[in-house]
Amino acid sequence: MAAPSFDTHDVFNQSPPYRDVDLFLSDRPLQEAVAAFGPGDGAALSAFGRRWGSAEMLDLARLANSFTPVLRTFDAKGFRRDVVEFHPAYHALMAESVGEGLHASTWQADGKPAPAPAQVERAARFYMAAQIEGGHLCPITMTRASVAALDVEPALLARVMPVIASRSYDPSFRPWTEKAGMTLGMGMTEKQGGTDVRANTTTATPDGDHYRITGHKWFMSAPMCDAFLVLAQAPDGLTCFFMPRFRPDGSVNALRLQRLKDKLGNRSNASSEVEFAEAYALRVGGEGRGVRTIIQMVQLTRLDCAISSAGMMRMALAQAVHHARHRSVFQKHLADQPAMRAVLADMALEVEAATALVMRLCRAFDLAATDENEAAYARVLTPAIKYWVCKTAPAFIYEAMECLGGNGYVEDSILPRLYREAPVNAIWEGSGNVMCLDVLRAVGRDPEAARALLARLADNDASRGAIAETGKILTSPTAEMHARAAVERLAVVAAANALSQCAPAEVADLFIRMRLGERRGTMFGSSAIGDDNAAKLLRRAVPE
């Protein structure tokens, strides 16, 4: 008798997996933005893009999010351990990112900013890494940003900088002074207040050359970092501190990890609730200057939130376009069905804008130290761009998911992970309203510079109209009530301006028409882009 066959059907009309792609060379808008605002080293970025777009990296990302971190509070005999264990895939991702300098490449060996185009070059890499795995980028971004706050303590910075700048990832649980490389985290948010850090109740008591910190943090991510910048109330007010995991005598410092958050996404990354029981810490900046000190760090983490959200949108778009080109419905590829082309093209236009905008912002960071206009750009637009890009991403990724139909809702497609990851970028490092209020504050602090910035951004009729309205709102007595509308407009105008500097004129003009001119519905696919333009946008988005 013949063996029964288990081949019950042929599998066909499924799109091939989207992997082993060069994330740089397959992304025309990114290449153009890097060329215009850098320029960056295309060959090196392509090597990075091939590595991060490989099937192997996608697999590491899947594993790191399937086997999530575990808190080991005690050992078998009841002694405290306070360590978090990660899957080897997480460590492999960290080693890749650290090896590429994502955690430090914008700094020179002495902790001073690296010359342009360091920000743009790193941002291109960060954008590509975020397409593959967002969770591990949390300690990566905090480590690179911490240097900006440590700048006020040159002696401390000189000691830590060689270990931070190292390209060796060293996950061992030892004092940072003995390690080949280190990572840093940040502890600001307490139970009674995250945005309002002045409500922090954690105390700092001077004790000779250091302080003893007692209290808690309600969110402290990446708790296996080697040190944290922590806010606490010192005798003269809220102050920033450097809190290592080990005391100088080699004993484990008094950070008690209470619990790991059970989060919507960001699952490869651990986020802890922690208590400090007279933990050893060094002051960073003057007493009472905690917010001013740590804001230097937060400015950079906000930038990274925007870059990574743009990256996630890019990956969602690429998945959607790729699938639609291979999947036939009613004898025609989805990518050739007019209603689907309208959706994909509208999304491609949004990614063009987000990508141009974050890279333009990085150029401002690259030049801010020597160019007042660029400094004003970074000051006013960092919160506006974080607001707009990070809040666009979740709905965008959902729409991309739907392009894949049922497959998009299933984990193997990667879209569910992107979808769960996206909202956190809008929440942490200053949530939506807080970003809008920050724009108001930046405008209020230097109205002249802000007015000049708005004038520079408004380089076409539609933008001039939008900016005139926005400018009025931003400086009106009811600005807070209308802040979201004004800040969104501001970001869209800035995106149009960025596109006009890096993309073909027809793309910039289309964006201006679709986002500042004609009325548009609230869903992707409701812009009147037209078939020719759709074809161009899709060819630019993902090569056929």
Ligand X SMILES: Cc1cc2nc3c(=O)[nH]c(=O)nc-3n(C[C@H](O)[C@H](O)[C@H](O)COP(=O)(O)OP(=O)(O)OC[C@H]3O[C@@H](n4cnc5c(N)ncnc54)[C@H](O)[C@@H]3O)c2cc1C
Q: Measured on CA atoms in the order 524, 525, 528, 530, is the torsion positive or negative?
A: positive
Residue of 68, 97, 266, 413 that binds ligand X (CB under 6 A):
266
> Does 432 interact with ligand X (rule: CB under 6 A)?
yes
Whose Cβ is closer to ligand X: residue 261's or residue 520's? 261
> Does 219 interact with ligand X (rule: CB under 6 A)?
yes
> Does 241 interact with ligand X (rule: CB under 6 A)?
no
Q: Least distance in Å: CB of 283 to ligand X?
A: 18
Residue of 167, 263, 326, 513 that binds ligand X (CB under 6 A):
263
Whose Cβ is closer to ligand X: residue 272's or residue 470's? 272
Whose Cβ is closer to ligand X: residue 271's or residue 308's? 271
Distance, CA of 309 to chain centre: 6
Task: Give the tokens for residue 422.
Answer: 């996206």
Helices (H) and strands (E) in the chain, counts: 17, 11
Tell me which residues in 433-472 interact with ligand X (CB under 6 A). Answer: 433-434, 437
Secondary structure in 3-state letters for 307-375:
HHHHHHHHHHHHHHHHHHHHCEECCEEHHHCHHHHHHHHHHHHHHHHHHHHHHHHHHHHHHCCCCHHHH
Whose Cβ is closer to ligand X: residue 213's or residue 351's? 213
Residue 52 near residue 129 (C-beta atoms within 8 A): yes
> Does 424 interact with ligand X (rule: CB under 6 A)?
yes
Please, what's the b/e burial string for 142-158 (b: 16 or more CB within 10 A of its CB; e: otherwise)?
bbbbbbbbbbbbeebbe
Whose Cβ is closer to ligand X: residue 323's or residue 420's? 420
**Which of 245, 285, 279 is closest to 155 using CA atoms?**
285
CB atoms within 10 A of CB 339: 8
Residue of 431, 460, 501, 526 that binds ligand X (CB under 6 A):
431
The C-alpha atoms of residue 336 and residue 328 are separated, in whole angstroms, by: 9
Whose Cβ is closer to ligand X: residue 36's or residue 142's? 142
Q: Least distance in Å: CB of 242 to ligand X?
A: 15
Task: Give the tokens for residue 429.
Answer: 């490092």
Q: Least distance in Å: CB of 483 to ligand X?
A: 9
Q: Least distance in Å: CB of 445 to ligand X?
A: 17
Whose Cβ is closer to ligand X: residue 257's or residue 335's? 257
Whose Cβ is closer to ligand X: residue 121's or residue 226's? 226
Q: Least distance in Å: CB of 145 to ligand X?
A: 11
Whose Cβ is closer to ligand X: residue 301's or residue 319's? 301
What residues pair up with 80 in beta bridges, in sequence order? 74
> Does 427 interact with ligand X (rule: CB under 6 A)?
yes
> Does 53 interact with ligand X (rule: CB under 6 A)?
no
Task: Give the tokens for residue 534.
Answer: 């759709």
Across the chain, which distance is largest between two alpha carbons, in Å? 89
Distance, CA of 82 to chain centre: 28
> Does 220 interact with ligand X (rule: CB under 6 A)?
yes
Distance, CA of 536 to chain centre: 28
Q: Which residue has the tokens 């019950």?
A: 8
**Which of 200, 313, 211 is closest to 253 using CA atoms?**
211
Q: Least distance in Å: CB of 493 to ligand X?
A: 23
> Does 291 interact with ligand X (rule: CB under 6 A)?
no
The one segment of 76-84, 187-195, 313-321, 486-494 that binds ligand X by CB under 6 A? 187-195
User: For residue 232, how many C-alpha atoms fall within 13 Å in the half-sphere facing its CB?
Assistant: 30
Residues in the chain: 544
Whose Cβ is closer to ligand X: residue 388's or residue 428's? 428
> Does 173 interact with ligand X (rule: CB under 6 A)?
no
Residue 107 near residue 166 (C-beta atoms within 8 A): no
What single-letter DSSP state applies at residue 478? T
The one segment of 38-46, 75-83, 111-119, 216-224 that binds ligand X by CB under 6 A? 216-224
What single-letter DSSP state applies at residue 248? T
Q: Least distance in Å: CB of 401 to ligand X?
A: 21
The one segment of 17-25, 97-105, 238-246, 424-432 that binds ligand X by CB under 6 A? 424-432
Residue of 186, 204, 361, 498 that binds ligand X (CB under 6 A):
186
> Does 95 interact with ligand X (rule: CB under 6 A)?
no
Q: Least distance in Å: CB of 186 to ligand X?
A: 5
**CB closest to ligand X, residue no:** 194
> Does 258 interact with ligand X (rule: CB under 6 A)?
no
> Does 117 interact with ligand X (rule: CB under 6 A)?
no
Q: Which residue has the tokens 């440590």?
A: 150
Q: Least distance in Å: CB of 342 to ligand X?
A: 33
Helix (H, G, I), strand (E, B) or coil at 107: strand
Whose Cβ is closer to ligand X: residue 84's or residue 502's? 84
> Does 398 interact with ligand X (rule: CB under 6 A)?
no
The C-alpha atoms of residue 462 and residue 509 are separated, in whole angstroms, by: 10
Question: At 482, phi and psi to the nearest 5?
Answer: -110, 15
Q: What is the CA radius of gyration of the chain?
A: 24
Residue of 271, 299, 319, 497 that binds ligand X (CB under 6 A):
271
Q: Least distance in Å: CB of 34 to ligand X?
A: 29
- Give contact residues for ligand X (rule: CB under 6 A): 185-189, 193-196, 219-221, 263, 266, 271, 424, 427-428, 431-434, 437
